[in-house]
Chain A
Amino acid sequence: MLRWFAATALVLGALYATFARPASAPEEPRPDPGAQRLYDLSAGQRHAIRVWSALAARDSALARYSTAVIEKGQPRIMASGFAEGISSPEAEALVRQRWTALGAPDSSVRVLVMVYNEAEFDSLRSQVYPYSGALLVRDTANDVCVAMTPGSRTPRGDIDVVSSQLDRALAPCLLRAAFGAPGRGVRDWLERTRAAAAKSNAWLHRHPDSLDGSGQLPWEPMYQQARAGRPETGLSSLLRNLAAFEIAVMTAPPYPMGSAALRCLEGNTAECSRTVLDSFPLQESLPGDLTFSHSWELGRRNRPDALLSVHPIGDWFLSDIIRMEGRERFGRFWKSDQPVEAAFQDAFGRDLGGWTRDWGVRQRSGSWEARFTPAKPVTLGVTLAPSSTLLTLGWTAAALLLAAWTARRRQVT
């Protein structure tokens, strides 16, 4: 308790001594109310367009599917909202390539790929990417998976799509096509998390030893670390000039992944399991049968609870399980009716939390930020030896004395 009082007094004293100095910094300008109003309206409009595009695509997919002829084991590619007879060679090539890599698909799963016209959503000139994802429907005679992505008419007369978007939308459908309908445990988990971990098809073409994720953090960051206010004034200007912010961000624990992920990396395997199993609060605006989009697409970023909540695990997580454990064992896991943790233990002979921690450490070590941190994947808590206190204060005093002595000896003329 005494230490708390001493520390508080020290901090308050230092703050008072710093800010009570005569040189006053200019007042921070207040945000312009008109511009702020525009910003708020723009955020609301973009959110509305994203939800609108997702719901409209879903409605269109449901209508199309009821009338389409889809052969078993073969995906059907359809264009929606375009003139009759127009196709997307790019989408067809990608789907064909993925299907070839799949080998023998499970014939009980029906897959529709729908490219819908994004022109309607572009009419408001909001520069928003319309929804791209999968519609997963259960309790039907056969499992239904519809991969949906926006497309636009090109001057050549065909349809242009963003291949990476389509690939992500396809991923949940390809898993079903390869391994069949999931067992009850995995199915429930995928629904809870909106298949957040099933957005990569790298298991079809990448070597098991290669690191997937393109250097991203293993748990999705849900807020950005940024300087508050304007950097041009007073103390904030000093901090900027010292690059203190950048140094702090690069050397600090990766807070944007959330506290559960940090504890997982530190060795708490129960937290690791939680990051896989716990669903993130569902987006109320969207039906539960649509897959999860990036959090930034649906306004989940920078929420007050972002640090404490469980963040979606890297969307290549399931793909990595297949690459590292093999298709056969993954197939057992996928089809199991047991809860995910038990199914994982049965299929791979390992605890889900332990496996996830190893995966997270490997991913973290390969991330861009890890280049600026020590060998440990994450370091939390005290790292300073008590003896360093006296040493640091002593050296600081020595440096001050040396500087003062040197300055006194300097002659100008």
Chain B
Amino acid sequence: MSRLVIGISLFALAGPVTAQDAAAWRDSAYRLSAEMQRVRDSLRQDDSQTEEIARRSGLVVSATGDYRALAEDVLDRFDAARRRWFGSALPSPVGFRITLRHGESWSIGRSSRPQSVSIAGLPDADDAFRRAPFDAEEALGNAGKAAQRFLGEYGSLMMASAPAAIRSWLRAGLLLDLGVESRRERAMYSLVTGVGKAQRACVQGDAAGCAHALGIRRSGDPDAGGEYYPLVRADLLLAALEQGGEGAWSRLIGNAGASVEQRLAAAAGIPVDTLLLRWRDGLLALQPDRGPLDLSSAGLILGWSAVILAAGLGIARWG
């Protein structure tokens, strides 16, 4: 009996809560789900339509969605940069394709806005070299960044077609992901701060010391010391390719059985000692000509210190 009374009481209590209707909220949840699906489908349809944007001298760029606007600029930048070192050489006679992509966000459900931009080297056959890394959106945020990423991937493809002797000597690849200025600056600091005997000799202008410190030609001196970082080797190789101009890459990878020294000389078109000294002169020219701290920076530091102190001294107070 008491259960019946309680049950009736409970239902009576539930009555006034008319706005708190489970069915209404269920319908709302389903309506929102349908709307989400519609928006998601719309975005996917827009993004899944990869469109060819431009062609330049055997290269084709295609893009989806937001990247269509900057694809042509990316292609121009990429083509200009790769010609600086590789001329018109391709990693494979059947072409290549590099696709950079991003856009899967789990915070809004499944993959929502996949975006991609790709550059293909014709003929782009089915067995062409392909790379499709997944990037953060920020890595492709503008044409300059995207071109740099393409260049890094292109360097990896080119190295895959290089002789084993070059790959083994280079150790860490061409590191084209780094910008030219950044790479050269790091190489300069490595060069001038090396403490080994051969490294110091290289800085002083001794080509034999440079050859030893770069792992090109061994010195007979047991106290010659260590070698430079792999990045310095990459910088030298790129300098040789730049020096050699059109055809440098072909000369680098041709002549099966040649040593690294012979390949570098062939690529640059000059004796390797001359290459080493020119490369060394180029790096030393990058040394900074002023101290790391200028007057405006010092003023800024003092200014901010004063601001923080002023704030700490009770401009505002809790409670």
Residues of A within 8 A of B (CB): 3-4, 6-7, 10-11, 13-14, 17-18, 21, 26, 29, 32, 34-35, 37-39, 41-42, 44-45, 48-49, 51-52, 55-56, 58-59, 62, 65-70, 110, 124, 126, 137, 139-142, 144, 230, 232, 262-263, 266, 268, 285-287, 289, 380-384, 386, 388-389, 392-393, 396-397, 400, 403-404, 407-408, 412-413
Contact = CB atoms under 8 A, between A and B. Distances in A.
Nearest to A57: B22
Given A14-B300, A262-B318, A389-B313, A139 B26 contact: no
Interface of B: 2-11, 13-14, 17, 20-22, 25-26, 28-30, 32-33, 35-36, 39-40, 42-43, 105, 107-109, 112-113, 137-138, 141-142, 192-193, 203-204, 284, 287, 291-293, 296, 298-307, 309-315, 317-319
Given A49-B29, A384-B312, 10 more contacts: A35-B108, A51-B25, A66-B4, A67-B7, A68-B3, A141-B5, A142-B6, A396-B301, A400-B298, A404-B291
29 contacts: A7-B311, A10-B306, A14-B304, A17-B303, A29-B137, A34-B43, A34-B112, A35-B112, A35-B113, A42-B109, A45-B33, A48-B26, A52-B25, A56-B22, A62-B7, A65-B10, A66-B4, A124-B30, A142-B6, A144-B10, A266-B319, A381-B319, A388-B309, A389-B313, A392-B305, A393-B309, A400-B301, A404-B291, A408-B291
B3 A66 contact: yes
Contacts of B303: 10, 13-14, 17
A397 B303 CA distance: 11
A390 B166 CA distance: 60
B6 A140 contact: yes
A208 B13 CA distance: 39
Contacts of B287: 412
Given A59-B22, A380-B319, A38 B112 contact: yes
Contacts of B296: 17, 21
Given A26-B141, A55-B20, A384 B305 contact: no
Contacts of A41: 32, 35-36, 39
Q: Is the interface of A mostly helix, strand, loop or mixed?
A: helix
A352 B307 CA distance: 42
Question: Which of B36, B193, B292 has most chain A Cβ within 10 Å?
Answer: B36
B293 A10 contact: no
A286 B21 CA distance: 9
Given A34-B113, A403-B293, A413-B203, A55 B21 contact: yes
B198 to A, nearest CB: 15
Contact of A14 (B112, B204, B307): B307
Nearest to B189: A412
Given A66-B4, A124-B29, A382-B313, A404 B293 contact: yes
Contacts of A65: 3, 6-7, 10
A61 B304 CA distance: 62
B293 A400 contact: yes
Contacts of B292: 403, 407
A67 B112 CA distance: 48
A380 to B, nearest CB: 4
Given A7-B310, A18-B300, A287-B20, A48 B35 contact: no
Contacts of B203: 413
B39 A37 contact: yes
B10 A140 contact: yes
Nearest to A121: B29
Given A32-B113, A407-B291, A62 B10 contact: yes
Nearest to B1: A141
A232 B39 contact: no
A232 B137 CA distance: 11
A134 to B, nearest CB: 14
Q: Is the interface of B mostly helix, strand, loop or mixed?
A: helix
Nearest to B299: A17
A290 to B, nearest CB: 10
Nearest to A48: B29
A42 B108 contact: yes
A48 B32 contact: yes
Given A17-B299, A140-B6, A408-B291, A289 B13 contact: yes
A230 B141 CA distance: 12
B10 A286 contact: no
A236 B138 CA distance: 14
Contacts of B40: 38
Contacts of B20: 55, 285-287
Contacts of B36: 38, 41-42, 45
A407 B138 CA distance: 36
A141 B8 contact: no
Return the 10 tightest CB-CB contacts between A and B, nearest first. Answer: A66-B7, A55-B22, A52-B25, A45-B32, A48-B29, A380-B318, A384-B312, A56-B22, A382-B314, A407-B291
A19 to B, nearest CB: 11
Nearest to B25: A52
Given A7-B310, A14-B304, A137 B10 contact: yes
Contacts of A4: 315
A251 to B, nearest CB: 13
B192 A381 contact: no
Contacts of A141: 2, 5-6, 9
A114 to B, nearest CB: 13
A250 B30 CA distance: 42
A381 B317 contact: yes
Nearest to A42: B108
Given A51-B25, A66-B8, A393-B305, A39 B312 contact: no
B11 A66 contact: yes
Contacts of A37: 39
